Amino acid sequence: MKKFLLLGLMMGILVSSAFAVPYYDKGNQMFSFTIGTSFPTFTYFFDSNEIRSGLGEGNTGGKVGGYGAISYQVFNSQNSAIGGEIGYDFNFSASNMLFTAVPFYAKYSLFPVQGQVDLPISFGLGGAYIKYNDASLMTLFGNVQVGLTWYPGDNWGFGLTTGLWLIPEFNYKEELRADNALAGFIPLTLSITYRQ
C-alpha cells in the first residue's frame, strides 16, 4: 500500500512538473529562515560494523534537539536554484551533555512543483563544526531534503521540510580510529521564505 502511495505521489509530482507553467525565472531569489527540531536517527561505526539507531541510551544516545538556519538561493534556471545555508543544531545526550553542530553547505534545489505551492527537493554538501564534551572537529556535512512551501501572496511563504543529514567523523589519531562513524539525523523544520 505504501509503495502505491509513494508511486502515486511521484507520478503526481512528475505530471504536475511536466504540465505546469514555470513560475520562476533565472535570477529569482529566495531568502529563508528555518527553525525546527532534529532527531538523531542512526550512528554507524565503520570499524565494528555496528549500527545504533533510535533515540536515547543504548541507541544513538542523543535526544530530540533543535535546529535553526538561514539560507539564500538564486535560480539558475526555471526549475532549479543554487545557494547555501548555515545553521545551528543542538541535541542533548542521554547524560544531558550538549552536542552542537554548525553546518554550512552549498545547496542545490529542484522545484518540480512551483507557484503558490513550491515543492523543493534539495541536496546539500559542505562542512560542519561539531562538538561534544572534549571532542570537537570540523567535518563534512551532506543532506537531502524535501519541503512544501505555501505562498499566500506573491512574496512570503511558509514551509515544512524534512530529510536526512549525514555527518561523518574521521579521526586520524590511531587510538580514535575505531570510533570513526557516520551519523544520521532527520530534521523536521518550519520555514518562512521571502522570494522575488
Partner 1 sequence: MRTNHKYIKIFSVLAIIAAITGCNADASAGLFRQISESTTPVGIRYRQILGISSPDIYFTTTEGIYKTDTNTSTQIKANTDVSLNRAAYLDSTNSRVLFLINNSDPDISNSIVKGVSIVSPYTKYPNLAPTYAALDSVTIHNLYTNGLFLLQGTDPANSNAKTFVLATYDDTVPASPVFTKKISFNEIDNLLSGYSLESVLQATGKETVAIGTQPVIVSFVNEAGNYKHFITDGATSYTITLNTRLANFAIINSKLYILTIDGKLYHAGATPVGAAIDLGSATPLLDITKVYDVNAFMYGVYDSGTSTNYIITKSNSKNDPLYVVSFTNGATTATGKSIRYGYGEYLDSAEIVSTYEKAANDLLVATAENGMFDITIIPASMNDDSTSNGTSSVSEDYTL
Residues numbered 109-128 forming contacts with partner 1, rule: CB under 8 A? 126-127
- Considering only the stretches 77-85, 106-114, 130-138, 154-162, report the one whose residues sit in contact with partner 1 under the rule CB under 8 A: 130-138
Residues numbered 73-112 forming contacts with partner 1, rule: CB under 8 A? 93-97, 99
CB of 46 to partner 1, least distance (A): 11
**Identity at 31, one-letter amino acid code:** F
If you write DSSP's letter for every residue of 142-155 in order, what string do you get?
Answer: EEEEEEEEE-SSSS
Residues numbered 23-42 forming contacts with partner 1, rule: CB under 8 A? 40
Answer for the pair 159, 137: CB distance below 8 angstroms, yes or no. no
Q: Which residues pair with 142 in a beta bridge?
A: 125, 166
Dmax (CA) of the chain: 57
String marking each residue 152-181 x if it binds partner 1 according to CB under 8 A: -----------------xxxxx-xx-xxxx
CB of 44 to partner 1, least distance (A): 9
Residue closer to partner 1, measured from CB, 119 or 167 = 167
Q: Which residues pair with 146 in a beta bridge?
A: 121, 162
Examine residue 139 and tell whether it contacts partner 1 (CB under 8 A).
Answer: yes
CA–chain centroid gap for 111, Å, is: 16
Q: Which residues are within 8 A (CB) of 163 and not within 5 positions of it... i.e. 6 or more apart?
A: 122, 143, 144, 145, 146, 186, 187
- DSSP secondary structure letter of residue 28: -
Which residues of the shown chain bind partner 1 in the complex (CB under 8 A)? 40, 43, 45, 52, 56-57, 59-62, 93-97, 99, 126-127, 130-140, 169-173, 175-176, 178-181, 183
